[in-house]
Chain A
Amino acid sequence: MAVIEVKNLTKDYKVNKKGKGLGGAIKNLFVREKTIVHAVKDLSFTIEKGEIVAFIGPNGAGKSTTVKMMSGILNPTSGQVLVNGKDVAKKRKEVVMDLGVVFGQRTQLNWDLRLGESFELMKRIYQIPDERYKENLKVMDDILGINEIIDIPVRQLSLGQRMRGDLVAAMLHSPSVLFLDEPTIGLDVDGKYAIRKFIKEINRVKGTTVILTTHDLGDIQELCERLIIINNGELMEDGPLQEVTERIAPFKTLVVEFYDGEAGVHPKAELFYHEGNIAKYRFRKADITAAQLIEEISSAKEIKDVSIEEASIDDIIRIAYHGSNEKI
């Protein structure tokens, strides 16, 4: 069942052009030029129940704008977003009852007071029954150990602790969809681990659909079955991690160690790294199989050791951002 349907979503902004220098500033007083920036262009996709989906793309690609339209913060210029069949722009209050949202760089917790006060407030805002509130808080404590920090004022929490608090606050009303905007930004290794574990657990136990934007490769590797790559406001790629890799980075790297500093060459593989006895070849799976390549190189020149590397997520993201023409 589709939890989220995004149909032809478009968002334009009007931006004032600013003149350069003092002359331009004075001119601006009288004449104002406006340009239209297309932040998101005709985006369509659906997300099924229980999926964990990563939105990736460079800064300013339109990720945040898309997530904000999906959660009802921004009104689309055209197109629509349906969450559980309801139009977000038209039925905001009904839709948000079923959404949990955490923005990594801002908190919705009350800065001055103990963490627990913010939870109590959520309980009232979302009209969470006592039993469910206690039950949810217990589940959160099992995963995140939230009871250890519940009596500390939010301003005294570390960034990682605060993020845990924010996640709990977003999940107390048992939403079926959780939006996370850069949830692990600025966190240390332990912090990242805790957040990822939480996302996995909540997805497994409660079947929560999770949509996250991130620049963190670890997040993607550990959490996401599906990638949506956005650039310049357009959908570049959409599919399982494996499939996207196959599609946009259909090559492997063969690392060969020779006995001396000389490396062999092969017409179907590109020698892109050579230092000392180590040489690296990049080859397309369609052109030649790994076994064949090893055989042909080793028949020309004796080799000591080989290993094969798949394209890393790093590569995939870079190719997606810059277009596949660029040399890697």
Chain B
Amino acid sequence: MNIRKSITAYFYVYKIRIQKSLAYHYDVYGNILMQCIIMFAAAFFWRALYAGETVVQGVAAEQMYIYTVVSTAMSVFFMNDVEQRVMRSVEKGTIAVEMLKPINLYGIFFFEDLGKLTALCFQNLLPIVLIGSIFIAVPKPANMTAFLLFVLSLVMAYLIHWLLAACFSMWAFVTINMNPLLQVKKHLIRLLSGSIIPLWFFPDWLASILNCLPFVYIYQLPLDIYIGKEGMSNILPRLGIQAVWVVALFVLFMILQKNALKKVMVQGG
């Protein structure tokens, strides 16, 4: 299969997925409502904690509100379901056929997820930012450089999260029910990535362990950059580590995919 053909195919699934996502209204309203409630809950939480203080760990209350709004909006980027889809294919026994198609299965998943993300940016991200700006805090970035670096970091965060999911999905070839495993991953990301409680409230020993894991590069680093928590000299090396994680996970993913393919070829799925 030549490259142009596969690019056309990828673009096609991307477009179809946008259309499909736009067709579901109720999911969208339900998601916005729930995300907003959670955003307000978090904002009230910080307001209560900051009641007597102005600056904690070098972060002002206002920055914490922005952190909350941006973190909620960012969650839109991390709503893919690669694992469930692979799991379903394995259950149905169609995985072998799908993986042996000339076009890469994970490539299709990736572009479908991008399509879904594009739709979600309009359906969820915009309303969340809008509602957050009106009722909580206008999420203005620390400065223009910070914003550009944030975008760069967010792209890498997306890749880390997606590749992590893709790697996890390979477990489906080994175990029947990987839901518990997915739960472990979900909670690790939820609690250790800084999406709810920023890392700087964690004790130093724990924070330095977490800095060695990929989770903090999903939420914490882009958020740190956005609110201007750290100076440029601290941020650039961390962006470097983030890039290393992207590459490392990609290599891991390629190896796992090759093994899975071998397994599928032998067993026929």
**B and A form one assembly:** yes
Q: How far is the CA of A28 from the CA of B23 in the complex (A)?
A: 7
Q: How far is the CB of A206 from chain B (nearest CB, A)?
A: 39
Q: How large is the interface on B (under 10, 10 to 19, 20 to 34, 35 or more residues)?
A: under 10
Q: Determine if A22 is an interface residue (Cβ-Cβ < 8 Å).
A: yes
Q: How far is the CA of A46 from the CA of B25 in the complex (A)?
A: 43
B25-A25 in contact (CB<8A): no
**Which residues of chain B (177-229) have a CB below 8 Å from chain A?**
none
Residue of A nearest to B19 (CB): A25
Interface size on A, residues (CB 8 A): 8
**Which residues of chain B (102-143) have a CB below 8 Å from chain A?**
123
Q: How far is the CB of A326 from chain B (nearest CB, A)?
A: 37
Q: How far is the CA of A25 from the CA of B19 in the complex (A)?
A: 6
A18-B18 in contact (CB<8A): no
- Interface residues, chain B, with chain A CB atoms under 8 Å away: 15, 18-19, 22-23, 25, 123
Q: How far is the CB of A15 from chain B (nearest CB, A)?
A: 13
A29-B25 in contact (CB<8A): yes
Q: Determine if A265 is an interface residue (Cβ-Cβ < 8 Å).
A: no
A29-B22 in contact (CB<8A): yes
Q: How far is the CA of A32 from the CA of B22 in the complex (A)?
A: 13
Additional A-B contacts beyond A22-B19, A28-B25 (16; CB < 8 A): A18-B23, A21-B19, A22-B15, A22-B18, A22-B22, A25-B18, A25-B19, A25-B22, A25-B23, A26-B22, A28-B22, A28-B23, A29-B22, A29-B25, A29-B123, A32-B25
Contacts of A26 in B (CB 8 A): 22
Q: How far is the CA of A28 from the CA of B22 in the complex (A)?
A: 8
Would you give 18 A-B contacts (Cβ < 8 Å), ordered by A?
Answer: A18-B23, A21-B19, A22-B15, A22-B18, A22-B19, A22-B22, A25-B18, A25-B19, A25-B22, A25-B23, A26-B22, A28-B22, A28-B23, A28-B25, A29-B22, A29-B25, A29-B123, A32-B25
Q: How far is the CA of A28 from the CA of B28 in the complex (A)?
A: 13
Q: How far is the CA of A18 from the CA of B22 in the complex (A)?
A: 11
Q: How far is the CA of A18 from the CA of B19 in the complex (A)?
A: 11
Contacts of B23 in A (CB 8 A): 18, 25, 28
**Which residues of chain A (25-68) have a CB below 8 Å from chain B?**
25-26, 28-29, 32
Contacts of B19 in A (CB 8 A): 21-22, 25
Q: Binding site of B, secondary structure by majority: helix, strand, loop or mixed?
A: helix
- Interface residues, chain A, with chain B CB atoms under 8 Å away: 18, 21-22, 25-26, 28-29, 32
User: Quick one: which of B18, B22, B123 has the most chain A CB within 10 A?
Assistant: B22
Residue of A nearest to B20 (CB): A25
Contacts of A29 in B (CB 8 A): 22, 25, 123
Q: How far is the CB of B126 from chain A (nearest CB, A)?
A: 12
Residue of A nearest to B28 (CB): A29
User: Quick one: which of A18, A25, A32 has the most chain B CB within 10 A?
Assistant: A25
Contacts of A22 in B (CB 8 A): 15, 18-19, 22
Contacts of B25 in A (CB 8 A): 28-29, 32
Q: How far is the CA of A32 from the CA of B23 in the complex (A)?
A: 10
Q: How far is the CA of A21 from the CA of B19 in the complex (A)?
A: 7
Contacts of A32 in B (CB 8 A): 25
Q: How far is the CA of A28 from the CA of B21 in the complex (A)?
A: 11
Q: How far is the CB of A20 from chain B (nearest CB, A)?
A: 9
User: Quick one: which of B15, B18, B23, B123 has the most chain A CB within 10 A?
Assistant: B23
Q: How far is the CB of B91 from chain A (nearest CB, A)?
A: 12
Q: How far is the CB of B52 from chain A (nearest CB, A)?
A: 45
Q: How far is the CA of A22 from the CA of B18 in the complex (A)?
A: 8
Contacts of A25 in B (CB 8 A): 18-19, 22-23
Q: How far is the CB of B122 from chain A (nearest CB, A)?
A: 9
Q: How far is the CA of A29 from the CA of B124 in the complex (A)?
A: 13
User: Quick one: which of A21, A26, A32 has the most chain B CB within 10 A?
Assistant: A26
Q: How far is the CA of A26 from the CA of B15 in the complex (A)?
A: 13
Contacts of A21 in B (CB 8 A): 19
Leading 10 A-B pairs by shortest Cβ distance: A25-B22, A25-B19, A22-B19, A25-B23, A29-B22, A26-B22, A18-B23, A28-B23, A22-B18, A22-B15
Q: How far is the CA of A22 from the CA of B15 in the complex (A)?
A: 8
Q: How far is the CA of A18 from the CA of B25 in the complex (A)?
A: 12
Contacts of B22 in A (CB 8 A): 22, 25-26, 28-29
Residue of B nearest to A32 (CB): B25
Q: How far is the CA of A22 from the CA of B11 in the complex (A)?
A: 14
Q: How far is the CA of A25 from the CA of B15 in the complex (A)?
A: 11
Q: How far is the CB of B130 from chain A (nearest CB, A)?
A: 16
Residue of A nearest to B23 (CB): A25
Q: How far is the CB of B250 from chain A (nearest CB, A)?
A: 31
Residue of B nearest to A30 (CB): B25
Q: How far is the CB of B28 from chain A (nearest CB, A)?
A: 8
Contacts of B18 in A (CB 8 A): 22, 25
Q: How far is the CB of B98 from chain A (nearest CB, A)?
A: 24
Contacts of B15 in A (CB 8 A): 22
Q: How far is the CB of A152 from chain B (nearest CB, A)?
A: 19
Q: How far is the CB of A106 from chain B (nearest CB, A)?
A: 16
Q: How far is the CA of A183 from the CA of B76 in the complex (A)?
A: 46
Q: How far is the CB of A75 from chain B (nearest CB, A)?
A: 22
